[in-house]
Structure 1
Amino acid sequence: MTIKIGVVMDPIESVTYKKDSTLAMLWEADSRNWQIFYLLQSDLYIDSGEPCARMTRLHPKQDPQKWFEFGEETQAPLANLDVILMRKDPPFDMNFIYTTYILDRAESRGVLVVNHPQSLRDCNEKVFATHFPQCCAPTLVCADKRRLRAFAEEHEDVILKPLDGM
């Protein structure tokens, strides 16, 4: 039996060929002859309680000039898939939240969803990193501009990131 895998991701045209881990996962799935279905957040919907999507067959290629081809497009219940990979990058906005709600419904229908939708809502990746300070550069999470300025002055070479973006 062939595994059917759906991948919720950013537009594939925006993928950075040399470093995108989702693309590496797609190549591996293809090497195993799995059926791969490409999904955008806007493709997901719930129809009369059934989580569904517009799914487009995807054929990934290991060619930096043309790293994918699209196949047939269908509308189908997400329960037709064995696995869904949630690979959408931030921003962590309401569309992201709504996507996790639909993926929760797919999970309740027996689909393995990776990354777990509830965990994506509960665990901000930037805040989660603070659980492992021994693995991180000095880190400050706050909304106080004076504290941020003092931190930047103390450490000089800093990176500022919003909690809900890249």
Structure 2
Amino acid sequence: MHLTHRPVRPDDIAGICSFPQSPAELFHMFPKANYPLTPAQLSDAIAQRSGSTVVEGNGTVLAFANFYKAEHGGVCALGNVVVAPAARGHGVARYLVAAMIDLARQQFAAREVWVSCFNHNTAGLLLYPQLGFVPFGIEERQAWEGSRVALVQMKQVLIQPA
């Protein structure tokens, strides 16, 4: 499948809201949201964030991500990463993260890209190190149902400080 990416459009939002299939999946994508994800919740997040991007395959939106922090010349922190259920396991997340790293470089001249991944998100924990991310911290958080979870913070250095 040929993948492309572009900035998110208002008509993409309802479809993206259908990607998280459970409260657990939504928590991995968007910890502050309430399941099911609504267009209002997602639109509000997009308005407060930078670089909201979708991946398309054969004209269908397959994935979404943005930056919850985007410092020009500093850190871009990747968030709201989600892939459509039917597209999982086909390299779409890998393509999306690579596109977001390119965006961090080109639009923000970022020195580092950060990503945080909850301990239950095995796919993410295995993917990010393959893409060059290195763990640098762990924070305790509370999951949607109240249990303790670990948020693993990872980064990829794009530009070495002079």
**How high is the TM-score relative to the length of structure 1?**
0.29
User: When you count strand as a share of all residues, which structure comes out higher?
Assistant: 2
User: When you count helix as a share of all residues, which structure comes out higher?
Assistant: 1
Larger-gyration structure (1/2): 1
